[in-house]
Amino acid sequence: MKANLHKALESFNQEILETVSKETEFKAILFTLCYFHAVVTQRRKFGPQGWNKNYPFNHGDLSISVNILYNYLESNQTTVPWMNLSFLFGDIMYGGHITDDWDRRLCRAYLEKYMNPSMLKGELYLAPGVPVPLSIDFKLFHNYVDEHIVSENTYLYGLHPNAEIDFLTATALNLFRFVFELQPKDVTLGKEGGCDAVQMKEDLVKKNFKSIRFLLS
């Protein structure tokens, strides 16, 4: 979560705040969008417990959502159009990738939790112990993430701890399977089995190197 949040925040800077009239609202919603982006992208690692299907959420979804936010806040709106923004983010930008009805419902539920007027009163928590930051300089967002986001934990994504157990179990099983496949095996060649050969360990290492590196990262 920390890495994803830092990466999302690095795409923006203090300059964008100098051109927006509703700075408090913009900063609060911007940080919330970055957190939402980190949640929906990282939930993919939990398989079906994260999303029923694997969706190609990307940084472009976040960038365009922030542009939409900027335009709406600068369009002489007297109040923040919460429902409009939630619909555009959840049903158009990120929801445009979603094909499963239950996943779409989940996406909307997140935005209903994250995008509401209580964030401007300091009453909204993105996760236990993680309130939406208000009235801080943009460059302090990274410090806020380091101070308030704890070590990787499923509750940051709104998931039960069992989701992490299943993820780690599946990762361990895949790792052991790849290690087992690295062991030399006798292979019989030819229609009548007249030629025996040993498949070299190096060939299997090359074949599974990318998968092993992903599991160990």
What would the pLDDT profile of 175-204 be if each residue is shown by its tens digit? 777 777 776 665 554 444 444 444 455 555
CB atoms under 10 Å from CB of 2, counted, come to 15
Q: Does domain 2-159 have CATH number 2.170.120.12?
A: no
Q: Are 141 and 31 in contact (CB under 8 A)?
A: yes
What would the pLDDT profile of 22-49 be if each residue is shown by its tens digit? 888 999 999 999 999 999 998 888 878 8
Distance between CA 149 and CA 3 in Å, rounded?
A: 10
pTM for the model: 0.77
Domain ranges of the chain: 2-159, 164-216
Those residues of the chain that have pLDDT short of 70 are: 76-77, 163-168, 171, 183-217
